[in-house]
Amino acid sequence: MSVTDQPTMSTPAIRLRGLTKVYGSSPEPAVDALDLDVARGEVVALLGPSGCGKTTILRMINRLIEPTAGSIEIEGVDVTDQPVTDLRRSIGYVIQQIGLFPHRTIARNIAEVPRMLKWDSGRIDERVRELTVLVGLEVDMLDRYPDELSGGQQQRVGVARALAADPPVLLMDEPFGAVDPIVRKSLQDELLALQSRVQKTIVIVTHDLDEALRVADRIALFNVGGVIEQLATPDELMRSPASEFVEEFVGSDRGMRRLSLKNISSLDHRMGSVVDLDDEPSRGLEVMDREGIDWLGVVSEDRFAGWITRSAVEDAARNGKPLADLDRSDPIAQVRPDDTLRAAMELIILSNAATAVIDDNGRFGGVVTLEDLRAALGDTESVGAMT
């Protein structure tokens, strides 16, 4: 329905054209004339309520479901041009229920596709070990059976198994749906870390908006009947929903969600109401006036040394005392550069402080205020920084 204008210089990794699926008994199509391009190395999330055809789309790509009409190309080659087993061996496939083979050890599970591709055993062993480390598992787990692992560990094995033969394309169907929210978040983080190294083309099906926002470069939001409502970057989707359906789907807290898409490090460095410990107290008064704040932060040798009250600074200015002699209190709101803007906001509100101090591994990294956060949401130019 909507054609993407992804600026690619070469053929897209996945190209869907007029893709349609009508199930035998149903009068309505499950997927309706879908056009979608996925660029090489891109993560696209197929997002939407149940019944929107997102899983059907995914399963048509590796021909677990045959389309009623339309075409699917991977790296410019039509998927029907090769035997279906060859096609599937060249595509990584991860599903929610994982589907590890319970009668095989972890090592044998991971080795399945390389074995089918007739790799020699030395190469398979090496690859299995490499993948085990890559997905964050211990090598001594390789001789165990799947049931001896936790859900999160099993899902890591599922990812390792899908990556075994180094396929350029990875299809993931609600991959983290079966694990608890804490494990899910860490698996999502790991997927992002993994992706930054392996650079696969990933299509991930999810009904979880937060998951799509976290992992995807672009999100295709579907309505029932396999129709794309909006195809956009996470920030764009949050900032300007294309329809009422999208607006409803992304929810009323989309402002807050946008905050969680950006890291503190994406903000311009700001000193705020902070001076060097060796500065004159009068300089501190100027800075406080400029910032409109009654606290003065001091920095000593790159470290944040604490906050001083305005009255103490005024007193020191009158009596000619150096700032270093004044009482200082420790910062209560501290964030790190890789925290999200949302985390900063929550911290500022919870600690009832006007300013959060950025602690960059012990070094003073500037400050964040609520005003900075508000300004960041209005700043559409830095959107690209978050992916």
Partner 1 sequence: MTVLAAARNPIIRWEWLVDEWDQIRSALVEHLTLTVLSMGLGILLSALLAAVAIRYRWALTPITATTGLIYTLPSVAMFALLAPIFGNLARPTAVIPLAGYTLLILVTNTVAGFRSVPRAVRDAAEGMGLSPFRRIVTVELPLALPYIITGIRIASVSTVGLVTVAAIIGQGGLGSLIFSGLRRAFWTPMTVGASLSIIVALAVDALIYLIGALLTPWTRRAAH
The contact set with partner 1 (CB under 8 A) reads: 62, 64, 84-90, 93, 95-104, 112-113, 116, 144-145, 147-148, 158, 161, 171
Alpha-carbon distance values, 144 to 101, 125, 152 (Å): 12, 15, 15
CB neighbour list of residue 164: distance below 8 Å, 6 or more residues apart: 110, 111, 112, 113, 114, 127, 128, 131
Angle between helical axes of 121-134 and 106-116 (0-180°, round to 10): 130
Q: Which of 290, 296, 360 is nearest to 328 (CA)?
A: 296
To partner 1, the closest distance from the beta carbon of 27 in angstroms equals: 26
Task: Name the residue nearer to partner 1 (CB basis): 119 or 145.
Answer: 145
Q: Which is nearer to partner 1, 174 or 339 (CB)?
A: 174
| Nearer CB in complex with partner 1: 99/168 | 99
Task: Kindly tell me which of 165 and 267 has the beta carbon lying closer to partner 1.
Answer: 165
Nearer of residues 89 and 239 to partner 1, judged by Cβ: 89
**Residue 28 C-beta: closest distance to partner 1, Å:** 25
Give which of 62, 75, 99, 57 is closest to 14, Cα–Cα: 75
**Which of residues 53 and 114 has its CB atom nearest to partner 1 in the complex?**
114
In the complex, what is the shortest distance from the CB of residue 173 to partner 1, in angstroms, rounded to a whole number?
9
CB 10 to partner 1: min, Å: 26
User: Where do runs of H (alpha helix) occur along the chain?
Assistant: 54-61, 84-89, 106-116, 121-134, 151-163, 181-198, 209-215, 234-239, 244-250, 254-259, 281-291, 310-319, 341-351, 370-378
Residue by residue, DSSP assigns 12-39 as -SEEEEEEEE--TT-SS-SEEEEEEEE-
Structure tokens at 315: 């007193």
d(CA 286, CA 28): 69
Shortest distance, position 204 Cβ to partner 1, whole Å: 15
- We find the least distance from the C-beta atom of residue 85 to partner 1, in angstroms, to be 4
Task: Report, in Å, the least distance between residue 79 CB and partner 1.
Answer: 13
Separation CA 7–CA 3 (nearest Å):
12
Nearer to partner 1, 171 or 203 (CB): 171
Tracing tokens 């040798």 back to the chain, one arrives at: 301
